[in-house]
Chain A
């Protein structure tokens, strides 16, 4: 039996490797969206909250996810723990010899939850504690002591497991006692437990913890039904045990069982994880580190980037001063909406807008959006936002509030190195500050986006990036007249070279728009040649049998889909609302 089960141990290193290599975005995101503080002031938020102790434990652990290997290890060790406790439980309740599949299912289901849902509010840790508590209960041999402990500790269990977990645990131990033991005492205790479990949320609701009743009791079971399976699993095991089903172990059954586990495991790793979200998280993590090459590399792998991914890609291109060269290499079907996010107050939006304004060196909007992100985070602050607030406030010279935020971050567990570097910056007044100066202030944040960018450009801050955003916006909006005016009057080439897309616009002007420009511009022969090819191809295609069918012409011109000419001819602009939402694709 032991030998047979040892096969399962081989799965855990694979799980660690899976988290480390395939889910690094999740791990980084979990750390960034987490918040933790030492001391009673922070623990006060959890001390009397049903399930709050698991939340607290989870927030503590998530701090360590800043090291990817450790985050992957903690994710794995939680599953190891669940496996060990399940095995112990199964041994105690006498399921029989076919333990392997039964002892594996809980951790496999938890793995599925870990990879598909973002573990929030301590739910995964709650599952771990559920199995730990059940296992611990079964270790106490003397029945009256066992009953008494379970009764006395029921409020603690409620604080650890919350409403659903407590119900699952006490129902399970009631079933266990009912079918596995004898005597009237157990009936008395079972009745008592059922009363406690039923009354506890009401007592808490009335006297201890102000909350909506549904949050106190049933929300997990209703909203995340899959948790119900995990929580109800022990109940199922006990029923099996009660039915006393024992299968004869044969070689074939062993093979079938092992194969079954491997199939479930493989399915979980390949089908369950939300790889689309993981890809976004990876890109987001790279953007935080200003690793623009990584952002672009990830964008190149995306077939249908989301608006958020497209905005990050364009930010990466603008930061590398490549937006004017590569704008149309990525999905341009969103038109101008791919350059910025709508003015929606929601965590992801606020965080990404904060990133955008930070990279554009506009301090107050970066602070504004970071504060909005903090408000929308589960605890009213998260490490990612806190770090960003520290950085901006140091750069802006708001030393007192920067010091406050630094002290808060230092009160967590693992951030001393990062904080030391920021303290050094805080103490050094000669720090390079490229933010928009106070005296250049203007009002910002009202849409349309182009008006904001024009004001940023007028202020003289971060000219190189801003002019890219203005020019690309005008091209994406097919507003060629304003493009030529702006370009001819204000544009300052970076490194003396005009980006590809702008050259394409200039060529287009020569042939079609024919607007008189004040300056002369050199066009690369390669672009000239491609323009001739494009026109020749267009002319042939239009005259051919495809003439009347725009869709087929578009298809046949695909070779030029990274050019402005193609975009001008074939792209349909989505309607964007005043606040930046896409109304119609």
Chain B
């Protein structure tokens, strides 16, 4: 009996992790993974579990004004209980938390310089939707669309790869951040564009004889009546030995507007031309302008380095569904030798976020791709060095309150894209970004899929994967 009692006690003590003894202090930050040092987070984010590199045991103390609020211990990494973390964030809402890390490394307890976590009251949208895809860049097999609750680790599929095997689902887009009104494409098997509105989900075929292809890159008009699409004849070429692996390019592209109410494709000959390629449509938040990228055609893929997209815009009349006569150039780059993609405008209409790369239309595989931003009212560039990395930083989206951006980046290993968030404060400064938190700090080491096209949503998608699967496999209505 006594043996059992002591054994249990031993297990209990060992399980809880030992307290640091004879700690040697170091005036440097701990080496932690993921990197959460000196970041800004929303008050409604999931626990920031992390590991200390090479540590056997670790103690992490969250403090505010030298008052200890939460202590977590673990064997090299911490797993903060959700309720305790949420309690902590409530207490420090709008304040700065000091994080003191003590780690047992090579038999010695080391104390590190505390780092800070700035907790801001500007909350982030409750969900982010994304696609998970294997980085094979030619054919996927287990592609699915997922939604992740940002205040917890709950991730669920709304288009499940087990059901849609053989179809490529992509380009999900939500109307005004609504989980009830959205669209996505299904390619290969069961091709079509799935449009979900409250009480009405259907599949449409937007390929008419007036357009080059079915709708590709997309954005909902704020009214919810229209979706602007690009039409692209897309190809791929593979590099034999370059740091870039694949070049994705168009041999023709243009724009079109789909009238959701009347199932009608609206075209304009100016946006389907041989001598200019247009793509990446994006509405201004008031719906009065359509922004897009335009390039002079090149001999592709050989001259891919010469392909430079620049930003333009055209006024739009919501009543008639017509684009105005004049197309304006929006000069946002001092260096015109670069190429712009994925323009998106902040919900208040003041800032324009885009991706800039040396060339081309598919910056996701371009290591040189970075995020860029300008203040549309002053034309001033915003410094995004806190968000950018040495690797490809590409697709991005604004939160509904305009205080957060999410974007994909290959910064961890140049191969698998991960999801990152950065705070954009009211003074127009971007704060240091952080990766989507996972319960296991080693998650990204073992995960073999890429995060693709993150989009914020203001609630959970309630439509079940089975219902969406039925729509995907249904007959597509041809657009007029």
- Docked pose: A371 CA to B245 CA in angstroms: 12
Chain B residues within an 8 Å CB radius of A401: 413-416
Contact between B413 and A365, CB atoms less than 8 A apart: no
For A206, give the chain B residue with the smallest CB separation. B466
Of all chain A residues, the one with the shortest Cβ separation from B448 is: A381
- Given the known interface contacts A210-B160, A401-B413, the answer about A368 and B241 at a Cβ–Cβ threshold of 8 Å is no
- In whole angstroms, what is the CA distance A34 to B136 when docked? 19
Closest CB in chain B relative to A35 CB, distance in Å: 10
Does B233 reach chain A (CB closer than 8 Å)? no
Q: Which residues of B contact A436 (CB under 8 A)?
A: 240-241
Query: Would you list which residues of chain B between 157 and 185 have a CB under 8 Å from chain A?
Result: 157, 160, 162-163
| Segment at the A interface, from B139-147, B212-220, B378-386, B392-400 | B139-147
Is A371's CB under 8 angstroms from B445's CB? no
List the B side residues contacting A408 at CB < 8 Å: 445-446, 448
Contact with A along B442-472 (1 / 0, CB 8 A): 0101111100000000000000011000000
Question: Is A446 at the interface (CB under 8 A from chain B)?
Answer: yes
| Minimum C-beta distance from B390 to chain A (A) | 11
B14 on the A face (CB < 8 A): no
A435 within 8 A of B: yes
Contact A374 B157 (CB under 8 A): no
B238–A443 contact, CB under 8 A? yes
- Which residues of A sit under 8 angstroms from B138, Cβ to Cβ? 345, 368, 372
Query: Is there contact, CB below 8 Å, between B241 and A374?
Result: no
Q: Does A440 contact B (CB under 8 A)?
A: yes
Across the interface, A371 reaches (CB within 8 A) one of B134, B241, B243, B440, namely B134
B242 at the interface (CB under 8 A from A): yes
Please determine whether B446 and A371 come into contact, CB atoms closer than 8 angstroms. no
Interface members, chain B 241-260 (any A CB < 8 Å): 241-243, 245-247
A327 contacts the other chain (CB 8 A): no
Q: Which of the residues A210, A345, A372, A455 comes within 8 Å of B240, measured between beta carbons?
A: A455
Neighbouring A residues of B465 by C-beta, 8 Å: 210
Chain A, range 26-74, C-beta contacts under 8 Å to B = 37, 39-42
Cα–Cα, bound, A257→B140 (Å): 53
Enumerate A348-389 residues with CB–CB distance to B below 8 Å. Answer: 362-365, 367-368, 371-372, 374-376, 380-381
Which of A375, A440, A446 is close to B241, meaning CB atoms less than 8 Å apart? A440
* A411: chain B residues within 8 A (beta carbon): 446
Chain B 293-331 interface residues, beta-carbon cutoff 8 Å to A = 301-302
Asked if B413 and A368 make an inter-chain contact with CB atoms under 8 angstroms apart, the answer reads: no
Contact partner of A443 among B240, B243, B443, B447, CB < 8 A?
Answer: B240
B137 surroundings in chain A (CB, below 8 A): 368, 371
CB of B412 closer than 8 Å to a CB of A: yes
- How far apart are B179's CB and chain A's nearest CB, in angstroms? 18
Interface flag for A442 (CB, 8 Å):
yes
Give the distance in Å from the alpha carbon of A363 to the alpha carbon of B244 in the complex. 11
Minimum CB–CB distance from B446 to chain A (whole Å) comes to: 6
Pairwise interchain contact B241-A212, C-beta atoms closer than 8 A = no
**Which has the most chain B C-beta neighbours within 10 Å: A345, A364, A441, A446?**
A364
Contact of B140 (CB < 8 Å), options: A367, A375, A437: A375
In the bound complex, do residue B136 and residue A438 qualify as a contact, i.e. CB atoms below 8 Å apart?
Answer: no
What chain B residues lie within 8 Å of A413 (beta carbons)? none
Given known A-B contacts A37-B446, A345-B139, A401-B415, A380 and B134 have beta carbons under 8 A apart: yes
In A174-226, which residues have CB < 8 Å from any B CB? 210-212, 215
Contact B139 A438, beta carbon cutoff 8 Å: no
B240: chain A residues within 8 A (beta carbon): 362-365, 436, 440-444, 455-456, 459
Looking at the assembled complex, report how far the CB atom of B102 sits from the nearest CB atom of chain A, in whole angstroms: 25
Q: Please tell me if A260 contacts chain B, counting CB pairs below 8 Å.
A: no
1/0 contact trace for B416-448 toward A, CB 8 Å?
100000000000000000000000100101111
A residues near B413, Cβ cutoff 8 Å: 400-401, 404
Q: A401-B414, A408-B445, A456-B240 are in contact. Are A372 and B163 (CB under 8 A)?
A: no
Contact B136 A375 (CB under 8 A): yes
Return the CB mask of B4-40 against A: 1 if under 8 Å, else 0.
0000000000000000000000000000000000000
Chain B residues whose CB sits within 8 angstroms of the CB of A118 once the complex forms: none
* Given A41-B443, A372-B138, A376-B141: A437 and B241 interface contact (C-beta under 8 Å): yes
Contact of A374 among B134, B412, B443 (CB under 8 A): B134
Give the CA-CA distance A362 to B239 in the complex, in Å.
Answer: 10
**A40 to B245 Cα, complex, angstroms:** 32
Q: Check A41/B446 contact, CB under 8 A, given A374-B134, A375-B141.
A: yes
Q: What's the Cα separation between A289 and B97 when bound, in Å?
A: 55
Interface centre among A37, A375, A381, A445 (most CB of B within 10 A): A375
A489 at the interface (CB under 8 A from B): no
A139 part of interface (Cβ distance < 8 Å): no
**Chain A positions 426-467 with a Cβ under 8 Å from a chain B Cβ:** 435-438, 440-446, 455-456, 459, 461
A481 beta carbon closer than 8 Å to chain B: no
Is residue B237 within 8 Å, beta carbon to beta carbon, of the partner chain? Answer: yes
B135 an interface residue at 8 Å Cβ cutoff? yes
Given contacts A39-B446, A210-B162, A375-B136, contact A380 B241 (CB under 8 A): no
Q: A368-B137, A372-B138 are in contact. Are A407 and B241 (CB under 8 A)?
A: no
Kindly state the separation between the CA atoms of A294 and B11 in the bound complex, as whole angstroms: 54
Q: Which residues of the other chain, B, contact A485 by a CB distance below 8 angstroms?
A: none
A residues in contact with B238, CB < 8 Å: 364-365, 368, 443-445
Chain B residues within an 8 Å CB radius of A148: none
Residues of A with C-beta under 8 A to B446? 37, 39, 41-42, 407-408, 411
Quick one: which of A374, A407, A445 contacts B445, CB cutoff 8 A?
A407
Contact B243–A380 (Cβ < 8 Å): no
Judged by a CB distance under 8 angstroms, whether A398 is at the interface is yes
A375 touches B139 (CB 8 A): yes
Given the known A-B contacts A210-B157, A374-B134, A375-B140, are A443 and B162 also in contact in the complex, defined by CB atoms under 8 Å? no
Q: Which of B134, B136, B237, B443 has the most CB of A within 10 A?
A: B136
In the bound complex, how far is the Cα of B124 from the Cα of A365, in angstroms?
41
Chain A residues in 8 Å Cβ range of B443: 41
- Residue pair B163, A212 in contact (C-beta under 8 Å): yes
Docked-complex contact B412 and A41, CB < 8 angstroms: no
Q: Which residue of A lies closest to B237 (CB)?
A: A443
Report whether A438 and B243 are in contact in the complex, using a CB–CB cutoff of 8 Å.
yes
Q: Which of B135, B139, B242 touches A364 (beta carbons < 8 Å)?
A: B242
Q: How far is the CB of A542 from chain B (nearest CB, A)?
A: 48
A404 to B445 CA separation, bound complex (whole angstroms): 6
Residue of chain B at shortest CB distance from A444: B240
Closest to B135 in A: A371
Residues from chain A with Cβ under 8 Å of B162 in the complex: 210-212, 215
For B247, the chain A residues whose CB sits under 8 A away are 443
Write the nearest CB–CB distance from A434 to chain B, whole angstroms: 12
* Docked-complex contact A364 and B241, CB < 8 angstroms: yes
Are B241 and A435 in touch, CB under 8 angstroms?
A: yes
Q: How far is the CB of A28 from chain B (nearest CB, A)?
A: 23
- Cβ–Cβ contact A363 & B141, under 8 A: no
Using CB atoms, name the residue of chain B closest to A362. Answer: B240
Docked Cα-Cα span, A380 to B243, in Å, equals: 24
List the B side residues contacting A438 at CB < 8 Å: 241-243
Chain B residues whose CB sits within 8 angstroms of the CB of A345 once the complex forms: 138-139
- Give min CB distance, A56 to chain B, whole Å: 16
- Would you mind naming 22 contact pairs between A and B with Cβ atoms under 8 Å apart? A37-B446, A212-B162, A212-B163, A362-B241, A367-B245, A368-B137, A368-B245, A371-B135, A371-B136, A400-B414, A401-B413, A401-B415, A401-B416, A407-B446, A436-B241, A443-B237, A443-B247, A443-B301, A444-B238, A445-B238, A459-B241, A461-B241
B interface residues with partner A (beta carbon < 8 Å): 134-142, 157, 160, 162-163, 237-243, 245-247, 301-302, 412-416, 440, 443, 445-449, 465-466
Q: A374-B448, A436-B241 are in contact. List 6 more A-B contacts (CB 8 A).
A: A41-B440, A210-B160, A380-B134, A408-B448, A444-B238, A445-B238
A interface, CB within 8 angstroms of B: 37, 39-42, 210-212, 215, 345, 362-365, 367-368, 371-372, 374-376, 380-381, 398, 400-401, 404, 407-408, 411, 435-438, 440-446, 455-456, 459, 461
Closest CB pairs A-B (n = 6): A441-B242, A436-B241, A445-B238, A371-B136, A401-B413, A345-B139
